[in-house]
Amino acid sequence: MLILMSSEHTKKQLSDVLARIRKLRLKPHVIPGRQSVAIGITGNRGALDPHLFDVMPGVMEAVRVTRPYKLAGRDFKHGDTSFNVGPYRVGGPGLVVIAGPCAVESEEQLIRIARAVKKAGSHLLRGGAFKPRTSPYAFQGLGKKGLKLLAAARKETGMPIVTEVLDQRSLDAVADVADVLQVGARNMQNFALLKDLGKLRKPVMLKRGLSATLDEWLMSAEYLLSEGNAQLFLCERGIRAFSDHARNTLDLNVVPAVKELSHLPIFVDPSHATGVRSRVAPMARAAVAAGAHGLMIEVHDRPDQALCDGPQALSPEDFSSLMRDLSAIAGALGRGLAEPVFRGRG
Ligand code: PEP
Ligand code: MN
């Protein structure tokens, strides 16, 4: 059960509701929101009667929640979540594409690739400054210098920036520059980091963990939502399975599953999901056909020299031709590539 307090509720009305919950020997969880407060209830075995609460002064609505996540599910919010990133609407009808190199390597590399992906029609620019690498000996990213280069690339191209936050220590520095903070697969259950990200009022992209179930993924989303950050979208990036022909197995099935269960936008990253350049475009096309709100694609103009993930990077030319396909597929489904909702700096 989730109780939504009206925006004008008094402290006394809130404490009366909490007292009633405790009297039933159940546990209330106060969830502060942007406009008001919600109270989640746990500990009940069977369904609770909403009339126990919706008759109380200050209560706007009491809704039954059948899933462990309360705020991420459709029980709580029937309509789709959407919000602006720069001039583009994430979660709206237009397909939003994020493209760029795996890692920021140098100013020249980033600006060259940023210009190329912008020319091809990408909406947002990606690039890792802090990289989570399996090996401690592999390139770890340029760190703060990489963030500066991302800010310069945004200035140069007008493209909003998507970049990964690895830990709480670098959170403030990343939040200063990023238009979207990316939580990588390996951090999907870094609950301390998720709580801090929930306190921000900036968009966050939460990638699916390497072996996370849909429930676990949505519970991680719940960490951000329950701290009050509602600008959140998900990104499927492939999971570990037994197939040995690709880096990961792209679970496209999860796209309609997320859309059924949650109001959060869902993106697909076919680059990490396949790890193989030749498979990226087919899976990107399939993701749009499956109903993804957007895509994230790695692009490099000199993949043989890339410091990270060269084998899965598309050339700017291949990315450009993929963008034409994506536009056609989205068009066939009554959608299209996202258009600016207001004039950006680009
Ligand atoms: C990335 O997008 O740069 C990345 C490291 O992806 P993932 O966390 O999905 O492996
Ligand atoms: Mn990568």
The ligand placed nearest to the CA atom of residue 166 is 1
Distance 334 CA to ligand 2 centre (A): 31
Three-state SS for the chain is CEEEECCCCCHHHHHHHHHHHHHCCCEEEEEECCCCEEEEEECCCCCCCCHHHHCCCCEEEEECCCCCCCCCECCCCCCCCCEEECCEEECCCEEEEEEECCECCCHHHHHHHHHHHHHHCCCEEECECCCCCCCCCCCCCCCHHHHHHHHHHHHHHCCCEEEECCCCCCHHHHHHHCCEEEECHHHCCCHHHHHHHHHCCCCEEEECCCCCCHHHHHHHHHHHHHCCCCCEEEEECCECCCCCCCCCECCCCHHHHHHHHECCCEEECHHHHHCCHHHHHHHHHHHHHHCCCEEEEEECCCHHHCCCCHHHCECHHHHHHHHHHHHHHHHHCCCEECCCCCCCCC
In this prediction, residue 345 carries a pLDDT of: 53
- Closest ligand 1 atom, residue 237 Cα: 9
In this prediction, residue 226 carries a pLDDT of: 87
Distance 308 CA to ligand 2 centre (A): 6
Residues of the chain with CATH 3.20.20.70: 83-332
Nearest CA to ligand 1 atom 6: 184
Nearest CA to ligand 1 atom 4: 184
Distance 182 CA to ligand 1 centre (A): 9
Find out whether the beta carbon of 102 lies less than 6 Å from any atom of ligand 1: yes
Distance 102 CA to ligand 2 centre (A): 4
Nearest CA to ligand 1 atom 8: 184
Find out whether the beta carbon of 275 lies less than 6 Å from any atom of ligand 1: no
Nearest CA to ligand 1 atom 3: 102
Fold entry, domain 83-332: TIM Barrel (3.20.20)
In this prediction, residue 342 carries a pLDDT of: 80
Distance 184 CA to ligand 1 centre (A): 5
Residues of the chain with CATH 3.30.70.1140: 2-63
In this prediction, residue 344 carries a pLDDT of: 54
Find out whether the beta carbon of 247 lies less than 6 Å from any atom of ligand 1: no
Nearest CA to ligand 1 atom 10: 185
Tell me the mean pLDDT per 10 residues along the chain, length 346.
94 97 92 83 87 96 88 89 98 98 98 98 98 96 98 98 98 98 98 97 98 98 92 98 94 98 98 98 98 98 98 98 98 97 66
Find out whether the beta carbon of 238 lies less than 6 Å from any atom of ligand 1: no
Distance 243 CA to ligand 1 centre (A): 20
Architecture of domain 2-63: 2-Layer Sandwich (3.30)
